[in-house]
A and B are shown apart, each in its own frame.
Chain A
Amino acid sequence: MYVAVKGGEQAIDNAHKLLAEDRRGNPEHPELTLEQISEQMAYAVDRVMTEGSLYDRELAALAIKQARGDLVEAIFLLRAYRTTLPRLAVTEAIKTGEMAVERRISATYKDLPGGQILGPTFDYTHRLLDFKLAAEGEAPAPAERVDSAPDATMPRVSDFLNNEDLIELELPDSDETEVPDLTRAPLDFPADRATRLQNLARGDEGFLMALGYSTQRGYGRTHPFAGEIRMGAVAVEVVPEELGFAIQIGEITVTECEMVNQFKGSATSLPQFTRGYGLGFGHCERKTMAMALVDRSLRAQELGEDADAPAQDPEFVLYHSDNVEASGFVQHLKLPHYVDFQSELETVRTLRSEQMATLTKKAAE
Chain B
Amino acid sequence: MNPQQETTLSGYNFAYLDEQTKRMIRRAILKAVAIPGYQVPFGSREMPLPYGWGTGGIQVTAAIIGAQDILKVIDQGADDTTNAVSIRKFFARTTGVETTDKTARATVIQTRHRIPEKPLTENQILVYQVPTPEPLRWLEPRETETRRMHALEEYGVMHVKLYEDIAQYGRISTSYDYPVQVNDRYIMAPSPIPKFDNPKMNEMPALQLFGAGREKRIYAIPPYTTVKSLDFDDHPFEVQAWDHSCALCGADDSFLDEVVVDNMGSRMFVCSDSDFCSERREAGHQSDGLPQVVVAQAAE
Q: Direct contact between A and B in the complex (CB less than 8 angstroms)?
A: yes
Which A positions have Cβ atoms within 8 angstroms of B? 1-2, 4-9, 11-12, 76, 79-80, 82-84, 86, 183-190, 315, 319, 324-325, 327-332, 335-340, 342-347, 350-351, 354
Residues from chain A with Cβ under 8 Å of B175 in the complex: 340, 343-344, 346-347
A8 touches B51 (CB 8 A): no
Assuming the contacts A11-B82, A331-B50, asked whether A4 and B248 have C-beta atoms less than 8 A apart, the reply is yes
Decide if A332 touches B216 in the complex (CB within 8 Å): no
Interface string of B173-212 (1 = CB under 8 A from A): 1011100000000000000111110000000000000000
B240 interface hit (Cβ, 8 Å)? yes
Given A339-B76, A354-B170: A189 and B41 interface contact (C-beta under 8 Å): no
Question: In the complex the two chains form, what is the Cα distance from A190 to B147 in whole Å?
Answer: 13
Contacts from B to A (Cβ < 8 Å) = 12, 18, 41-48, 50-53, 55, 75-77, 80-86, 89, 112-114, 131, 141-144, 169-171, 173, 175-177, 192-196, 214, 216-217, 240, 242, 247-248, 255-259, 261, 268, 270, 272, 274, 277, 288-291
Give A328 to B44 CA distance when docked, in angstroms: 15
Question: Are A9 and B289 in touch, CB under 8 angstroms?
Answer: no
Interface of A is mostly: helix
Which residue in A7, A187, A339 is a CB contact (below 8 Å) of B257? A339
A330 to chain B: which residues have CB within 8 Å?
52
Nearest residue (CB) in B for A77 is B48
For the complex, give the distance between the alpha carbons of A177 and B215 in Å: 27
CA–CA, A340 and B112, complex, Å: 11
Q: A319-B143, A343-B176, A344-B175 are in contact. List 12 more A-B contacts (CB 8 A).
A: A4-B248, A76-B50, A83-B45, A328-B52, A329-B52, A329-B214, A330-B52, A332-B50, A336-B75, A339-B176, A340-B194, A346-B175
Do the beta carbons of A189 and B176 come within 8 Å of each other?
Answer: no
Tell me if A83 and B143 are in contact (CB < 8 A): no
Q: List 5 A-B contacts (CB under 8 A).
A: A80-B46, A330-B52, A332-B52, A336-B75, A339-B257
- A346-B240 contact given A9-B85, A332-B53, CB 8 Å threshold: yes
Does the CB pair A340–B50 fall under 8 Å?
Answer: no
Which A residue's beta carbon lies closest to that of B272? A339
Q: Contacts of B53 on A, CB cut-off 8 Å?
A: 328, 332, 335
CB distance from A6 to the nearest CB of B (A): 5
- Of A327, A336, A347, the contact of B83 (CB 8 Å cutoff): A336
Give 8 closest A-B pairs by Cβ, nearest first: A332-B52, A328-B51, A1-B289, A328-B50, A343-B175, A186-B216, A8-B85, A328-B52
How far apart are the CA atoms of A29 and B287 in the complex, in Å? Answer: 57
Are B76 and A331 touching (Cβ within 8 A)? no
Could you tell me the distance between the alpha carbons of A331 and B170 in the complex, rounded to whole angstroms? 34
Given A328-B214, A332-B50; A337-B113 close (CB under 8 Å)? yes
Residues on A with beta carbons closer than 8 Å to the beta carbon of B114: 339
**Known A-B contacts A8-B82, A12-B86, A331-B52; A315 and B42 likewise in contact (beta carbons under 8 Å):** no
Which residue of chain A is the closest to B217 with respect to CB atoms?
Answer: A186
CB-CB under 8 A from B43, the residues of chain A are: 183-186
Contacts of A84 in B (CB 8 A): 12, 18
Are A82 and B46 in touch, CB under 8 angstroms?
yes
Docked-complex contact A340 and B83, CB < 8 angstroms: no
Give the complex CA separation of A328 and B46 in angstroms.
11
CB contacts (< 8 Å) of A343 on chain B: these are 175-176, 194-196, 240
Contact A186–B18 (Cβ < 8 Å):
no
In the complex, what's the smallest C-beta–C-beta distance from A38 to chain B, in angstroms? 23
Residue contact B52 to A344, C-beta cutoff 8 Å: no
Q: Which residue of B18, B41, B82, B240 is within 8 Å of A12 (Cβ)?
A: B82
Residues of chain B lying within 8 A (CB to CB) of residue A188: 41
Contact, CB under 8 Å: B195 / A338: no
CB distance from B162 to the nearest CB of A (A): 14
Chain B: which residue is nearest A316 at the CB level?
B141
Bound CA–CA A337/B52 (angstroms): 12
- Contact (Cβ within 8 A) B41 A186: yes
Contact partner, B214, options A5, A6, A325, Cβ 8 Å: A325
Q: B residues within 8 A CB of A76?
A: 46, 50
From B170, which residue of chain A is reached at the shortest CB distance? A354
- In the bound assembly, the distance between CA atoms of A123 and B37 in angstroms comes to 55
Alpha-carbon distance between A41 and B142 when the two chains are bound, in angstroms: 40
List chain B residues, Cβ under 8 A from A80. 46-48
List A contacts of B171 (CB < 8 A).
350-351, 354
A297 to chain B: closest CB distance in Å? 18
Nearest CB in chain A: distance from B79 CB, A: 9
Pairwise interchain contact A335-B259, C-beta atoms closer than 8 A? no
B176 touches A336 (CB 8 A): no
Bound CA–CA A325/B45 (angstroms): 11
A339 touches B255 (CB 8 A): yes
Say whether A8 contacts B142, CB under 8 Å. no
Contact A2 B144 (CB under 8 A): no
Q: Are B81 and A327 neighbours in the complex by a CB distance under 8 Å?
A: no
Please, how many angstroms separate the alpha-carbon atoms of A188 and B40 in the complex? 12
Instruction: Please give, as numbers and ranges, the residues of chain A lying within 8 Å of B76 by CB-CB distance.
Output: 336-339
Q: How far is the CB of B16 from chain A (nearest CB, A)?
A: 8
A8 with B81: CB separation less than 8 A: yes
Quick one: closest A residue to B175, CB to CB? A343
What is the CA–CA distance of A340 and B175 in the complex, to the nearest angstrom? 8
Q: Which residue of chain B lies nearest to A347 when distances are taken between CB atoms in the complex?
A: B175
Chain B residues with Cβ below 8 Å from A2 are 247-248, 259, 261, 268, 270, 289-291
B88 to chain A minimum Cβ distance, whole angstroms, is 9
User: A50 CB to closest chain B CB, in angstroms?
Assistant: 16
Give B87 Cβ to nearest chain A Cβ, in Å. Answer: 11
Distance in angstroms from B114 CB to nearest chain A CB is: 6
When C-beta atoms are compared, the residue in chain A nearest to B288 turns out to be A1
Q: How far is the CB of B278 from chain A (nearest CB, A)?
A: 8
Q: Is the CB of A342 within 8 A of B258?
A: yes
Report chain A residues within 8 Å CB of B86: 12
Verify A329–B113 contact, CB threshold 8 A. Answer: no
